[in-house]
Each structure stands twice: as C-alpha cells, then as structure tokens.
Amino acid sequence: MSTAPSPRPISIVPSVLPADFSRLGEECRALEDAGVDRIQWDVMDGCFVPNLTFGPDVIASCRSHVSVPFEAQLMVADPDLLLEGYVDAGCDVVIAHAESTIHLHRTLTKITDLGARAGVALNPATPVSAVEHVLDLVDMVLVMTVNPGFGGQAYIPTMEPKVAEVRALLDQRGLDVDVEVDGGVGPDTVAGAAAAGANLIVAGSALYRDPEGLAHAVADIRSRAEAARDGATT
C-alpha cells in the first residue's frame, strides 16, 4: 500500500529586492538573524525582464557575511553565459527560467556539473508541460506567482492549481524536489500557496513591511504556511 509522502519542511526564502542596496551585507545578516532558510537574489538583465539588478560580484561581496544558502533566480535572456559566474559567486542554487533557453536540459545539467543545485522557473503563462522532461535534473521548481521583474506586485491566485499540478507530478514520480512560489506572497496569500503544495516561500515586500520586524514576519509566514500545509494533508 503506497503511503502519502511526509510533509515537506517549509522554508522561508527572502528576496533582497526590497532591501537597502547600499547595505546589502548588513541586510543579509539581518535576514539570517531573522531566521530565514536561504536568500534569493533576483538576477535581472533588462532583457528577459524590464529591470536590471545583481551581477555576480555583488552577490560574491555578500557571501562571507552569512552562512545561509544563496539562490540566484536568473531572469536573463541567455543564462548559459552566466551560470559559471553565479556559481563562482557562491550561489548554492541556480534557477533557470524554462522560457529563457532553447536547450533547457543542457542548461540545467550544466548547473549541476558546475557544482550547484539546479532549479527551474515557470512564468505565469508557461504550462507545467514545459518542464516535465527535466524534473529529474532539478532540486526545485519555482512557480512564479507574479510576472517577473519587480517586487511588490499582486499575487496571482490562479497559479495555485499549477503549484498543485507540479507537486502531484513530482510525488507521482517519487522525486525529492521542492516547489517554490515567488511574488506577492505574504500573510494573506501564503496559505493558498502552501495548501497547494509549495514548501519554499519567497517573500520580499511582505517581510520588509511587517511593522513588528523581520523576525516576526518570518515566523508569521512560516506558521501560516505550516498550518495550511498540515490542513491540506490531513
């Protein structure tokens, strides 16, 4: 008799987009002190998305300030040109967008060959079928809950069935792979995403706008996600 997989631990993964860019090292330390599980760097090249953010050197300059893992979400037009730089900068996880390369299988394989863990991201309009043949290559699948490019956007709740579809496909194949959501996630939206099967929770604006501070925001979002996960699996 097959048994349901045990619930996956909830991880809180802050985006540093809302942080003070003049003090990124200190901001990373504050996030680590607040109890986050890893830090997400939203890498944007002004081509794949209409915004420009962090090069590898910026991330490398923050690496020694904290011990939590770094993940780089490559919102870039040609990720293959940049993979080595972000791995060398100290990113433990490198996420490539399914839409950003015609040879996604090769790109994800290269990330692991370089010594990092691979992730694949899906924009809101991209179906799960776009990644069904690479799920064995990744440590995580990121289901974007906004159109990428900017923080502070409204959560897209119609992505929740897609989260559930990814989770079900991974469980059906017995793959030990996390599901991440990113965009507009906060106290009022995290429950739907976690109940649908997301266990990596990216939050940026919601963490920084909590009047009780980062530690409270991290704990609050984590507890809401765990309650929703457990309510969905009982």
Ligand X SMILES: O=C(CO)[C@@H](O)[C@H](O)COP(=O)(O)O
- Known catalytic residues? 42, 182
- 35 annotated ligand binder: no
- 171 annotated ligand binder: no
Report the C-alpha gap between 71 and 91 in whole angstroms: 5
Q: Where does 50-208 have alpha helices with state H? A: 56-63, 83-88, 104-113, 160-172, 190-196, 205-208
- What is the total count of residues that contact ligand X (CB under 6 A)? 21
Task: Please tell me what DSSP assigns to residue 155.
Answer: P
Rule CB under 6 A: say whether 79 interacts with ligand X: no
Report the C-alpha gap between 185 and 224 in whole angstroms: 12
Q: Which of 183, 196, 199, 220 binds ligand X (CB under 6 A)?
A: 183
Closer residue to ligand X, CB minimum distance, 87 or 185: 185
Strands 178-182 vs 117-122: parallel, antiparallel or unpaired: unpaired
Report the C-alpha gap between 226 and 122 in whole angstroms: 24
Closer residue to ligand X, CB minimum distance, 100 or 205: 205
- 192 annotated ligand binder: no
Q: What is the smallest separation between the CB atom of 58 and ligand X, expressed in angstroms? A: 16
Report the C-alpha gap between 121 and 111 in whole angstroms: 14
- Count of Cβ atoms closer than 10 Å to residue 139 Cβ: 22
Rule CB under 6 A: say whether 182 interacts with ligand X: yes
Which residues, at least 6 apart from 34, have a Cβ–Cβ distance to it below 8 Å?
Answer: 207, 213, 214, 215, 217, 218
Q: Which of 53, 100, 107, 205 binds ligand X (CB under 6 A)?
A: 205
Q: Which of 10, 17, 108, 225 binds ligand X (CB under 6 A)?
A: 17
Q: Pattern 124-153, binding to ligand X, x per CB under 6 A?
A: ----------------------x-xxxxxx
Please give the distance of CA 5 from its chain centroid, rounded to a whole number.
Answer: 22
- 151 annotated ligand binder: yes
- Write out the binding residues: 15, 42, 149-152, 182-184, 204-205
Residues that bind ligand X (CB under 6 A): 15, 17-18, 42, 75, 146, 148-153, 182-185, 202-206
- Write out the binding residues for substrate: 15, 149-152, 182-184, 204-205
